[in-house]
Structure 1
Amino acid sequence: MSLLWKRLKTVFAAALALLAGSLVLAAFVWVLSRPWRLSSSASGQVELTLMHWSGEGGSEEDAIVGAVLADFEAQHPGVRVRRINPGDGGSFYTKLQTMMAAGTPPDLFYVGAERFPAFVEAGLLAPLDQFLEQDRDQNHPQTLPLEDFYPAPLSAFRFDGQQTGTGQLYGIPKDFTTFGFFYNRDLFAQAGLSEPEMGWTWQDFLVAARAIGALPGCTGAEFVTWPSVLRLYLRTEGVDVSAEQFQRSRLREPEVYAALERLRNWRHQETSTLTSGKSKVATGASVFLTGKVGMAGPFGHWVVPSYRKIESFAWDFAPMPRGRVQANAVATVAWAVSSQSPHPEEAWALVRHLCGPRSQALAAPMGLAVPTLRSVAESEAFLGDQRPPRNSRVFLQQAEYAEVLPWPANPVFEDRLGKRMDQALKTGDLNLDEAISLFEKEWHRASSSPLQAEGFAPVPWRALVSAALGFLLLLISFLGWQWWRGRPGRLERREELAGYALVSPWLIGFLVFMAFPIFLSLVLSFSRWNGVSTLEHADWVGLANFQELLLFDDRLRTSLRVTAYYAFLAVPLGQLAALATALLMSREIRGIGFFRSAWYLPSVLAGVGVAVLWRWVFDGDHGLLNGWLRPMLQPFGLEPPQWLDQDAAGWGPPAFALMSLWMTGGSMVIYLAGIKGIPKELYEAAQIDGSGAWRRFRSVTLPMLSPVIFFNLIMAIIGSFQVFTQAFVMTGGEPGDLTRFYVLYLYNQAFEYYEMGYASAMAWLLLVVILLLTLLVMRGSRRHVYYEALNG
């Protein structure tokens, strides 16, 4: 019976191994055969891959896209559409970037006007003019009537190589919106104000905001300072932030400076005219939902679905106030065709269907945006909805003079403008002169960087791969020669082969998923690659990335300073807290298992959820922590700090260090295991010798626990240089760069600025820093770490 059982176990193990190997092989075959599968199905159908997001539209938008695609497939039986919806816009662009880098981009996809120039410059989008001309020449019944489109959204997807607005057309806008302010009709009535109309001015806006701000518990307006909105505000005064294709800043011109200073004073020199701008938990469109804010904006139509859920007060939409001129801008999203699509004709047919009158009419009642076709926008599909806003026609009236805001292809301009103006106009931790100086310095550095130059040679992939394979072959040959010199006997050889067979899955996994990415990252650190095209488009820049990092990148030094400040606080505090807690948890009392589990639980909770919780705790105006501190400090004439806002330079890293104490459960468990491993005889001998509790702790616990302390210290140092989720969710690195940790800055470079080579260089620099710190700690541990097995 036992022999049969052994044979069954052997057969079962072999079957499992065969199944596992087959699954792995099938996965590789499935991925490697993707280009052939996408080009045509077994039935000869063309398969198109479409990618979009649903965002605020949620399941409703998802269902509408699904219905439109089903209609398209019914009209085109030879085409099948595979749809990908990652959810929100952020996840969408991350997924899109990985698909493009892998060389398998979707055939058509959403692209926002703000990211459009970078995509065109990278050669990722196909120009659409030829398809439009072909449809007109053939009198195609579904030819898109460009004359029926609002001009501004269409212009937003033209690019001439320098800026948007002119040149070839690379996308067909599916919808758009103009900007204005949503206002609380009830608060306007309580303040005795007439409701805004077309042609109202910034002075009218200010009078209304002050009147509503004078009502008990109310604030006049929420005024967002996003880069596009800020430029729109300046354009109502007939000025802008730059000139000469973004080569010259205009921020110091008297008219521009005065308009910005006026906006800053409304928020920081007046009481309750504008929201404070300091809260991290109630910002943007959500502030309006409280019913205590008179106006919110400038926003577009995308907030309408959430505002339609308001039942506690009446609201409506007001046009953008007029300054010296009447101005407005458009925010829009287009359907674009990949330049790498194997089926451009079919992809264009689908774009034409998605942007046609029927599709736009289906999406109009959802309220997310305005249809781009005049005939649809002015029909009952859009204007016939009886739900608010009553002034929906204002969006259309503003579209007649709205313009596309051109942006440079380099995303650093918009990012740095937004961050520095937020510090001056929103949080107020910089004055206007300081913010302008920092922005101009950063943009000049980015636009004149040697990495922006042309003429770099392509990365010599063939030579590098040949060199790597040659080195690997030499290494294998050397190891084989060493093995042959001391080769074992037949029985030992069988045991060795069995051992290698057992570890082979790990070895293969290490080579494929660790060694290869490490090698690739090393090569990319000497290259310039945008991460949205295939590796063959990477340029070899030598040491230029490291020169830029070490000699010119001020933001890198800021991120290192923030990270080092955090590590200086978080590592000792965390280890002391974990050790103290472990000493308490080492007591054998009733219910101690529950307390150990409760203390450990936060360390395994989802990082995003914990970050959102602590964002509320540290909110400067309404946070739990300041709610406790304020009554204790006010008798002394003191106020608690604005942890993550104005005082973030001094109090931001300490706030994250305090938050890290919440996550010490993992270290506590390791310390607890070490404490439980200390022989009780040592404590008994020390007690017999008359040692007190403190002496036993210093002379027995700490020496015997020193290897555990050393391990936890190394892991804590490594972890302290890898802070990402908390900073990404709670502050995004703001205000300015005062909470921009090193890994967050690395993420910004890779996935927001599309500088994957530069980010790889940052990763290797981080490795060197952590390695040096680890070696320094290990060197200092020789005299302080006691290993019982080595000293017995």
Structure 2
Amino acid sequence: MSIVRGGICIIFLLPFCALHVAAAEREETTELHVWGLNMGYPRAGWLAVVAEFERRRPEIDVILGPADRGSDLQKLLCGVVGNAPPDVFKREANLFGDIASRGILMPLDDFIEADRSREDGLHENDYKPGVWESCRGSDGHMYAVPEATNALFLAYNKDVFREAGLDPERPPRDWQEWQDYARRLTLRDENGRVRRIGTMIHAPYMEDDLVFYIAQLGGNVLSADGRTCLLDGPEALDALTFIVETIQVTGGRRAFDDFAKWQEGLGTWPLGQGHVAMSVTGHSVLGEILRRGSEADIGMAPVPAPTGRKPITTSARHGLYLIPTRARHPDEAWDFIRFAAGPEGQIVFLEALAEDRAQMAERAAKQLEQQARLAEARGDPSRAGKLRDKAQARRQWQGETYPGFRANAKTQRLLQQKFIPRHPVVSANYKRCAELIQEMAFVPIPRSPVYAVIRDECQRAVDRALYGEMSPKEALLDADRRVQEQLDAYFGRERFPLFPWRYAWSTAVAIAGAACLFFWWRSREERARTSLQRYENRMGLLFISPWVIGFVVFIAGPMLFSLAISFCNYDVIHPARFAGLENYAFMLFNDPLFWKSLWNTAFMVLALPLGMSVSLLIAVLLNTKVRGMRVYRTLFYLPAVTPAIAAAVLWYGLLNPDGLLNVGLRRIGIDNPPSWLGDARWSKPAIVIMGIWGAGGGMILWLAGLQGIPKQLYEAASIDGAGRLRQFRSITLPMLTPYVFFALVTGVIGVFQIFAQALVLTRGGPADSTLFYVYYLFNNAFRYFKMGYASAMAWILFLIVLIATLIQWRLSRQWVHYE
């Protein structure tokens, strides 16, 4: 029996022993947290790089984190402030200036100096000077290592050139030729609608922004010390005038908006399909040819420069490797960067990517061959032949890997020798791009702590000039003023004293203690005459204490913190400095975008009754007793449970210029339907339509109200001769007024929080027409790092919603009828 008991004990102890051994082994392993690796198309390549690094360094366990590749740094910011940053952070260079200027990156100078003696080290001489210098902060330190060089080129469709009678081997060389070519290549249909645009220039938030065209003229957007904005200079005016004139010769703002949205559409490639003749883009267009197995004859050339000036290039999309200041394992992080950005890591990356691409191409080719056999069985040999040709093209080209251009010259030489493109168009253009990268001067993007503001204001200036809201000069002057205000606020924050947190928290603790004493005293008042009653009162306080503590810590505490920093100049990274009422004064008297965002949100509030009416109409229809009613109710309710991001992506396709909605409008005789999300006049109505699609969510509330109305009221009204419409007006609506009141209050609160649609669909454009209040608040908090200003906006929003709710509550006495 003792042997059996011992065996049972051993069996139960084995899992705990295994866990202890695993924990001990894990303690000996260094966890290296790496964020920002693209887990989309190149996923197989990065997984192979990580696996090979772990094989070479078995003591390191690489933990992959989120890919923060958007236009904000929310994840990195939260990680650094929360003392849980990644060890390696990879992202595009578009916001490098913002983060390098704020003290959250570790200088890499010591690592680079130590690599001088290593043959596999990262050496400055292996990088083009402009690319290397773009990774240097304003203080002279190196804060990043570049991985690739995504230089800007003019990509053009040679077949379209031939069709227009232009020499496909002679692309435009200066601005004047560019505009002339764009005019000749633009094609309109019989209704005057642009079917092919001559050139895409300055597409929203792409790399060829206003800053790039100013640089082409030899100008800058900032002074040498980075403290003065120069958007009011002559170079900026000439650049903006050129952009506006070029867009006007290709069909104006409407055509530009249509093709800009089309270019962002899912599954489309307007350049290769001949709908766009010329486009400013990176060399990644060559990889697009291979990915699609396209036979398009694409040419690559320098972006045309002003007359008398040499072409330049820049890049905001090349990847950078960064190490945050609070990284736990900086030495291991540098080892990973050296391997991933060096020749060995990049060869592993491309080999794994090539294998994955070949497998995908084979699967796609087999599917096409199966479709070809089905076409033959149906007696359609022509279609079967086309499908087999596509299958052959998939096997021939889609299995090939595009090597791209690496910033490290040693890495690039090895990749060019090992991964030579075989596609004739890609091969010829790859060689041409390699020559141009060596010839053209590389101009880095401005390194400024307010570069996100600069980029947004440049985009806003272009929008205002194109829409005719302002002349180019007025638009630039306004942009210059707003950027200068942000520069002054950033560099002038030292004039404010540090916020006295000691007194603030002491006051908060005193208030909380006074509240506790008050409730304790109330529990001992005269009504608690006996010891049993006092005991019950104390137990009641004890039982609700978990909720009270949670409320104070997670709701009231953060609210008080937000209120405190709303009076501060605070960017999360640096200590808060007390600024008094400056945030509120600037918001109310000097920030027109505050009022613009408030008006945009108020417009959506005005559209709220439409959504409520549609919901009520659906509920009335679904309140009838017909067969299959449960199925109908489920179908109408489905949009309400669809995630907001998924719904936004769905409607993005529907509202495209050539989406299903416009196709339907053209079929019923409307030849020139709205551009919807690309038109400032129609962007908000488009989002209203999207909201009506989800009206089924409110249907549940109305159904509950309708089914709670006594049937005898309708019977009595019917006996008195009242018709359906009179019954609805005199019985249904009065009985539903409590539900109307609830839906109105919650609807107003919900509309003031509209955010996802602007983030996914429009990014606040065009021309700030969808810059909703919460989206503008988000931009200030997580793109501009103005957390104090964003908190002030949040409290203004709180007051607005509170006042609106109190007004509705007061007026409800006159029209809400309770039983």
TM (norm. structure 1) is 0.83
Cα pair distance change 1:467/1:459, threshold 3 Å: same
Cα pair distance change 1:343/1:630, threshold 3 Å: closer
Alignment partner of 1:529 out of 553, 558, 570: 570
Cα pair distance change 1:688/1:262, threshold 3 Å: same
Partner of 1:404: 444
Partner of 1:643: 676
Cα pair distance change 1:606/1:43, threshold 3 Å: closer
Cα pair distance change 1:382/1:191, threshold 3 Å: farther
- Judge conservation of contact 1:316–1:391 (CA < 8 Å) in 2: yes
- Judge conservation of contact 1:319–1:394 (CA < 8 Å) in 2: no
1:190-220 Cα shifts (integer Å, max 9, x gaps): 4454444799444554555455445985433
Matched, 1:177 2:177: no
Q: In 1, Cα distance between the equivalents of 2:62 and 2:507? A: 40
What is the deviation of 1:120?
2.3
What is the deviation of 1:426?
6.6
Cα pair distance change 1:767/1:778, threshold 3 Å: same
Alignment of 1:244-259 (within 5 A): 245=225, 256-259=236-239
Alignment of 1:658-669 (within 5 A): 658-669=689-700
- Judge conservation of contact 1:227–1:418 (CA < 8 Å) in 2: no
Partner of 2:560: 519
Matched, 1:468 2:508: yes
Alignment partner of 1:222 out of 186, 191, 200: 200
Cα pair distance change 1:274/1:222, threshold 3 Å: farther
Q: In 2, Cα distance between the equivalents of 1:190 and 1:382? A: 37
Alignment partner of 1:700 out of 725, 731, 736: 731
Alignment of 1:382-781 (within 5 A): 384-387=420-423, 388-400=426-438, 401-423=441-463, 431-449=471-489, 452-485=492-525, 486-487=527-528, 506-531=547-572, 533=573, 537-568=575-606, 570-619=607-656, 621-629=657-665, 640-646=673-679, 648=680, 650-781=681-812
- Judge conservation of contact 1:52–1:110 (CA < 8 Å) in 2: yes
Cα pair distance change 1:58/1:419, threshold 3 Å: same
Partner of 1:22: none
Which moved further from structure 2: 735-744 or 621-630?
621-630
1:315-366 Cα shifts (integer Å, max 9, x gaps): 3433333432222223433212222234433333333333333224444676
- Judge conservation of contact 1:423–1:736 (CA < 8 Å) in 2: yes
Q: In 2, Cα distance between the equivalents of 1:502 and 1:476? A: 14
Q: Can you give the 5+ residue segments of structure 2 that lack an aligned partner in the other structure?
A: 1-21, 190-194, 352-400
What is the deviation of 1:512?
3.7
Report the secondary structure of 1:471's partner residue.
helix
1:610-631 Cα shifts (integer Å, max 9, x gaps): 2223334444x32444445567
Report the secondary structure of 1:268's partner residue.
helix
Cα pair distance change 1:384/1:428, threshold 3 Å: farther
- Judge conservation of contact 1:50–1:83 (CA < 8 Å) in 2: yes
Aligned length: 730
Alignment of 1:122-521 (within 5 A): 122-136=102-116, 139-161=117-139, 167-196=140-169, 200-202=173-175, 205-206=178-179, 208-214=181-187, 218-225=196-203, 226=205, 228-230=207-209, 231-241=211-221, 243=223, 245=225, 256-271=236-251, 276-279=256-259, 281-283=261-263, 286-288=268-270, 291-293=273-275, 295-310=277-292, 311-323=294-306, 324-326=308-310, 327-331=312-316, 332-363=318-349, 367=402, 369-379=404-414, 380-381=416-417, 384-387=420-423, 388-400=426-438, 401-423=441-463, 431-449=471-489, 452-485=492-525, 486-487=527-528, 506-521=547-562
Matched, 1:60 2:44: yes
Q: In 2, Cα distance between the equivalents of 1:116 and 1:42? A: 34
Alignment of 1:87-98 (within 5 A): 87=67, 89-90=69-70, 93-98=73-78
- Judge conservation of contact 2:758–2:772 (CA < 8 Å) in 1: yes
What is the deviation of 1:709?
1.0
Q: In 1, Cα distance between the equivalents of 2:480 and 2:433? A: 34
Cα pair distance change 1:722/1:201, threshold 3 Å: same
What is the deviation of 1:176?
2.0
What is the deviation of 1:773?
0.4
- Judge conservation of contact 1:108–1:347 (CA < 8 Å) in 2: yes
Report the secondary structure of 2:810's partner residue.
helix
Q: In 2, Cα distance between the equivalents of 1:710 and 1:689? A: 29
1:629-662 Cα shifts (integer Å, max 9, x gaps): 567776xxx954443334x2x4333332232211
What is the deviation of 1:456?
2.5
- Judge conservation of contact 1:706–1:785 (CA < 8 Å) in 2: yes
2:563 maps to a residue whose letter is L
1:745 maps to a residue whose letter is Y
RMSD: 3.5
What is the deviation of 1:159?
1.7
What is the deviation of 1:258?
4.1
Q: In 2, Cα distance between the equivalents of 1:362 and 1:152? A: 27
Cα pair distance change 1:559/1:247, threshold 3 Å: same
1:514 maps to a residue whose letter is I
Partner of 1:51: 35
1:86-128 Cα shifts (integer Å, max 9, x gaps): 2461299332222112122112212433222221222111112
Cα pair distance change 1:113/1:141, threshold 3 Å: same
Q: In 2, Cα distance between the equivalents of 1:50 and 1:700? A: 63
Q: In 2, Cα distance between the equivalents of 1:251 and 1:529? A: 26
Q: In 2, Cα distance between the equivalents of 1:352 and 1:608? A: 37
- Judge conservation of contact 1:559–1:742 (CA < 8 Å) in 2: yes
Report the secondary structure of 2:682's partner residue.
helix
Q: In 1, Cα distance between the equivalents of 2:428 and 2:348? A: 20
Q: In 2, Cα distance between the equivalents of 1:631 and 1:175? A: 47
- Judge conservation of contact 1:56–1:305 (CA < 8 Å) in 2: no
Cα pair distance change 1:759/1:250, threshold 3 Å: closer
- Judge conservation of contact 2:35–2:65 (CA < 8 Å) in 1: yes
Which moved further from structure 2: 396-405 or 753-762?
396-405
Which moved further from structure 2: 265-274 or 173-182?
265-274
Cα pair distance change 1:704/1:598, threshold 3 Å: same
- Judge conservation of contact 2:231–2:476 (CA < 8 Å) in 1: yes
Report the secondary structure of 1:158's partner residue.
coil
Cα pair distance change 1:627/1:457, threshold 3 Å: same
| Amino-acid identity (%) | 30
Which moved further from structure 2: 171-180 or 607-616?
607-616
Cα pair distance change 1:353/1:448, threshold 3 Å: same
2:463 maps to a residue whose letter is Q
What is the deviation of 1:729?
1.4
What is the deviation of 1:434?
4.5
Cα pair distance change 1:190/1:450, threshold 3 Å: closer
Q: Can you give the 5+ residue segments of structure 1 that lack an aligned partner in the other structure?
A: 1-36, 162-166
What is the deviation of 1:502?
6.9
1:573 maps to a residue whose letter is L
What is the deviation of 1:766?
0.4
